[in-house]
Every structure is written in structure tokens, then in C-alpha cells.
């Protein structure tokens, strides 16, 4: 696209649009009782009931040095900021139940009774762990697409886990669909090469991770 009004051929591209996107969380569909087989007729890893989702963002800390009346700034460490995905609870499948199961799979257990530790795993003493929480959530991919349904931007959240689940309030004055805000924490995000899906090309995406299997 050379200019806003220059549409001279089939290769002209529309600007990216905020409503053309697809969220994929592989284990959310499984927790809600669906089939997460890629390429199947009903791939429930696609969160078709998603309403809104943040894109990954990062912040760079800084250190400053003062000399007389001057201040000099030096970049420090990078931190990837958590994102929030808002989904509608379709009831069938039941999103609240699915998210609760994912938290159980992360290691959360209701305290039943005290137990003495031993050398073997004990479910009475189990707690949430990062590995379990990341596996329970599965792969998180955010695709931005064009008018033909082709991917124009692909983000992957690496080692993501659920930090917060917040269902919408009940309100007699509201006719809105019930929603759930899911806050995700992750170690870093990877952005695919322009117009490419991560794992589908041999080139490298941004932020230094070679494309592998998704």
C-alpha cells in the first residue's frame, strides 16, 4: 500500500484492522471438554468466544546519572507486561468450569486435611507450580488477519500461565453477555516475521527465537 488512496492492483493491502484477529489457547478447549486436534473440523483451541484481547507489550527500565544540572539515562532490563483477554461465557461449553479445571491442573488443591510429607508425591500437599501452570494453559497464540483470512501478524506468548480470572458482575439492570477477564503472565513474547506464522517458516521471528513447531 503506497498511499491511503492508492489501490492499483491485487497486491495492495488494507491497513491492519482491530477486529480481524483470532485468539488460540490450546488447553482451554480441552478443559471445557472439546477436541483440540489441529486441522479437525472443530478445533476448540480457537477461542471463538473471545471478545477483546491485549497485544503483548514490554517496558524497559532505566538508570539515571546526574552531572551538575544535567541528567543522563541508560537502558536497563526489559519486562514483558501481562495481558488481559476478555471472553464471553457461552455456557456450552462452560468457560468458568473450564478455567477452574485449568487451575486444578496447575496444582491448586482445596485443603482437606493435614498430611505429613514423604518421598512420594502427595496430592494433599500439592501446590501450584510454574511448569504445571504453563502446561495447563497450553500454547497461547494471537493472530491478526487480513480480509482474506490470511495471517498478517502472529504473536506467541512463551511460558504463559493464568494470573487472574475475573468474571463480570451480576446486574439486574444489565442485558450484557456475561464475560470473564483472564489475565495472563508470560516470560516473553515472540513476533513472527512479517506476514508469517511462527513455526511455519525456517526464518527467525523477532526477539531472537528461531521458528520451530508451534
Domain positions in the chain? 21-56+82-109+124-200
Which backbone phi and psi does 99 adopt, to 5 degrees? Answer: -65, -35
pLDDT tens per residue, range 57-110: 999 999 999 999 999 999 999 999 999 999 999 998 899 999 999 999 999 999
Query: In terms of Cα–Cα distance, which of 15, 17, 12, 16 is closest to 1?
Result: 12
Measured CA to CA, the distance from residue 203 to residue 140 in angstroms comes to: 20
Q: What rounded mean pLDDT belongs to the chain? A: 86
What secondary structure, in 3-state letters, does 183-213 show? EEECCEEEECCCCCCCCCCCCECHHHCECCC
Tell me the chain's radius of gyration from C-alpha atoms. 21
The second-level CATH assignment, the architecture, of 21-56+82-109+124-200 is: Roll (2.30)
For residue 34, name the pLDDT band (cuts at 50, 70, 90).
low
pLDDT higher at 34 or 187: 187
pTM as predicted: 0.82
For 173, which DSSP code?
T
C-alpha distance across the termini of the chain, in Å = 30
* Measured CA angle at 50 (ends 88, 176), to 5 deg: 30
Confidence of residue 203 (pLDDT cuts 50, 70, 90): very low
Q: Specify the pLDDT at position 45.
A: 86
Question: Phi first, then psi: what are they for 58, rounded to 5°?
Answer: -140, 155
**% of the chain with per-residue pLDDT over 90:** 63
Per-residue pLDDT tens digits for 121-155? 888 889 999 999 999 999 999 999 999 999 999 99
User: Is the Cβ–Cβ distance between 86 and 53 less than 8 Å?
Assistant: yes
Cβ contacts of 206 within 8 Å, gap of 6 or more: 190, 191, 192, 193
Amino acid at each position: 500500500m503506497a498511499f491511503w488512496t492508492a489501490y492499483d492492483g491485487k497486491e495492495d493491502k488494507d491497513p491492519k484492522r482491530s477486529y480481524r484477529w483470532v485468539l488460540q489457547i490450546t488447553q482451554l478447549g480441552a478443559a471445557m471438554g472439546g477436541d483440540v486436534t489441529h486441522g479437525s473440523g472443530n478445533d476448540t483451541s480457537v477461542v471463538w468466544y473471545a471478545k477483546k484481547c491485549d497485544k503483548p507489550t514490554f517496558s524497559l527500565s532505566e538508570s539515571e546519572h546526574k552531572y551538575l544540572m544535567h541528567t543522563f539515562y541508560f537502558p536497563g532490563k526489559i519486562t514483558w507486561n501481562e495481558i488481559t483477554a476478555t471472553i464471553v461465557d457461552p455456557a456450552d461449553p462452560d468457560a468458568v468450569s473450564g478455567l477452574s479445571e485449568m487451575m486444578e491442573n496447575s496444582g491448586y488443591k482445596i485443603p482437606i486435611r493435614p498430611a505429613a510429607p514423604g518421598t512420594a508425591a502427595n496430592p494433599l500437599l500439592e501446590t501450584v507450580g510454574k511448569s504445571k501452570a504453563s502446561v495447563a494453559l497450553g500454547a497461547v497464540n494471537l493472530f491478526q488477519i487480513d480480509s482474506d483470512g490470511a495471517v498478517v501478524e502472529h504473536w506467541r506468548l512463551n511460558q504463559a500461565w493464568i494470573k487472574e480470572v475475573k468474571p463480570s458482575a451480576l446486574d439486574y439492570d444489565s442485558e450484557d453477555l456475561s464475560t470473564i477477564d483472564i489475565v495472563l503472565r508470560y516470560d516473553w513474547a515472540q513476533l513472527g516475521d512479517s506476514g508469517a506464522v511462527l513455526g511455519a517458516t525456517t526464518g527467525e521471528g523477532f526477539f531472537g527465537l528461531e521458528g520451530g513447531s508451534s
